[in-house]
Amino acid sequence: MDILLLFRAVAALAVVLGLVGLAAYAARRWGPIGLLQVKPVSKRRLSVVESLTLDPSRRLVLVRCDAEERLLLLGEGRMLDVHPHAAPETARLP
C-alpha cells in the first residue's frame, strides 16, 4: 500500500469526524429550534389553568379556551367534561 494513499484515507477520516463533531456541537449549542428557523407562535387560545391529581389513575384539569373554562376529569382511558362555565371576569373599578 502506498504511503500517500494511506495518508489521504486518514486525512479524509479526520475531516469527516471533524464535521460530525462540529454538527454535534452546533446541535447542542443552538438546538433544533434555532437551526430550523421556525416563525414565532401567535397568541395561544388554549391553556391549562390548573391540574389536580386525585389518585394514580385520575386527574382533574381546568382548561381555558378563549373566554370559556372547562373542568375535565381524565383517567382510565376516558375524559369526562364535568361542568362548562365562563371564565371569571376581572374586577373593574368604577
Q: Which residue has the higher pLDDT, 50 or 40?
A: 50
The mean pLDDT of the chain is 80
Continuous H helices in 1-94: 3-36
Query: Could you tell me the residue ranges of all domains in the chain?
Result: 1-35, 46-86
Q: Each residue of 25-45: pLDDT tens digit?
A: 888 877 766 656 555 667 888
Q: How confident is residue 91, by pLDDT bands cut at 50, 70 and 90?
A: very low
- Report the candidate in 83, 78, 72 with the shortest Cα–Cα distance to residue 57: 78
pTM: 0.44
pLDDT in tens, 3-15: 899 999 999 999 9
Per-residue model confidence (pLDDT) at position 94: 46
Distance CA 58, CA 73 (A): 7
